[in-house]
Amino acid sequence: MNKRLFNLFLALILFTGIANAQKQPKYIFFLIGDGMGLSQVNVAEAFLAAQQNKNGTLPLVFSKFPHVAFATSHSLSHGVTDSGAGGTALAVGHKTKNGVIGMDSAGVKPYKSIANLAKEKGMKVGITSSVSIDHATPASFYANQPDRDMYHEIGLDIIKSKFDFFGGSGFLKPTTNAKKEEVPSLLPQLEKAGYKLVNGIAEYNQAKASSDKIILMNNKGANNVSLKYAIDQKPGDLQLAEITSAAIESLSKGKNGFFLMVEGGKIDWACHANDGAATIQEVLDFNSAVAKAYEFYQKHPEETLIVVTADHETGGLALGNGSSTLRLKTIANQKISQEVMSTLINDFRTKNASASWDQVKAFLTEHTGLWKDVKVAEKDEKEIFAAYEKSFVNHQNETQKSLYASNDKIASLAVNALNKASSLSWASGSHSAAYIPVFAIGVGAEQFKNKMDNIDIPKTVAKIAGWNLPE
């Protein structure tokens, strides 16, 4: 080889090395559907197809991503994880016991999350959710606490994190610590640390030009526990996609890129309640948030990585419950969540304490389509009627408790009957150990492949980004 060819060869190697070294994402989206197993994705896609009278599925934004894997989600202490251990695994790449946030199982050693690593590299960082900002999954990315229920202490860890954007419904215990003692409010301390606290998109739009660090919360007077279920939302209600867009806009001010975590937290809540219609709408709502990330990716395809996954599956959801015919179009008859239906039944009962069975049936038909548009199985009608008698005849109200709600039994049984008629079934009202999905697109996305464990997901993100995730 002559000198000229040798020099060209060296130049080619150097160029290739530089090109490979530059293949690190400037923008990283890490989106988590809480409770969203493969079945939740499948049922949302089948629902979309059913609305067009098609047999099969219509893809979500993220299910079209070119790189797909699946992962196990067990915690260090249990075969079925909770959101504390599940969120921690996704955030820090380490297993811990159920209930712990960002620490080892003894609650002694704090772990550093991939969000912390991004901040150390000069990137702006955002943490968002459709539930409270101090809930287990978002907390796992910025907090280190031995118990997920230490909401006040978790909130204070925001100050330590120095992250740039937080979004969600609000905070659960701003003035009460883990010992149930009244303590100085968290909110003024966040403001003193430089955060601009805003309620709703209108206030965000007023503050965004002059504020580098923002905490976006629910509209004034709205719930601080969570955003409304997507199925219940009205114009003006704060939505996860709006929070995601605001986060992208705010974080894009940085010159060194950003890391943004987005949680669709109420997929899990709907699944705990075995509310099929609400579950589908929560997955579609989460998909709308992913769409905002994908729109950004389309503008910066050579600089962006998007990873979509889940912390665990909830409910043991199955599409198909006996018949070979799926009737998923039927579930569109439900227009409100089981939670709101329970509230309306309580209001109805207050005004009509001794309502007839026909009156109660008419109420349920209005909100679920049962008896009018949906055939009710004889066994299910007997159960609903028995609950009616106990409630409206004997005046002994019953509730069906799930992790995040205590619903009226009549509402719960009606939703259950609609689920069955719509070909949906549930194994439980709790988490399961079913595989979680992983979808990826962008810089380094090809590294998400085959079967993984949940701790491999943040490790892979760190590897692609060129970060050293502590062992």
- The per-residue pLDDT for range 199-250, each reduced to its tens digit, is 999 999 999 999 999 999 999 999 999 999 999 999 999 999 999 999 999 9
How much is the pLDDT for 20? 45
How much is the pLDDT for 16? 46
Q: Does residue 407 register a pLDDT over 90?
A: no
Q: Does residue 280 register a pLDDT over 60?
A: yes
Q: Does residue 11 register a pLDDT over 70?
A: no
The rounded distance, in Å, linking the Cα atoms of 382 and 155 is 47
Among 93, 136, 156, 373, which Cα is nearest to 269's? 136
Beta strand pairing call for 67-72 and 436-442: antiparallel
Helices then strands, each counted (H, E), the chain:
16, 16
The rounded distance, in Å, linking the Cα atoms of 248 and 242 is 10
For the stretch 348-379, pLDDT in tens is: 999 999 999 999 999 999 999 999 999 999 99
Share of the chain above pLDDT 70, in %: 95
Contacts of 127 (CB under 8 A, 6+ apart): 115, 133, 138, 141, 142, 163, 165, 166, 167, 261
The rounded distance, in Å, linking the Cα atoms of 140 and 269 is 18
Q: Where residue 8 falls among pLDDT bands split at 50, 70, 90?
A: low
Look at 122 and 20; give whichever has higher pLDDT. Answer: 122
Q: Where residue 7 falls among pLDDT bands split at 50, 70, 90?
A: low
Arithmetic mean of pLDDT, 58-83: 98
For the stretch 173-195, pLDDT in tens is: 999 999 999 999 999 999 999 99
Q: Where residue 32 falls among pLDDT bands split at 50, 70, 90?
A: very high
How much is the pLDDT for 63? 98
**pTM of the model as a whole:** 0.94
How much is the pLDDT for 194? 98
Look up residue 167 and give its two tokens.
Answer: 């979004």
For the stretch 299-342, pLDDT in tens is: 999 999 999 999 999 999 999 998 899 999 999 999 999 999 99
Q: How many CB atoms lie within 10 A of CB 122?
A: 10
Share of the chain above pLDDT 90, in %: 91
DSSP assignment string, 432-466: E-PPEEEEEEETTGGG--SEEETTHHHHHHHHHHT
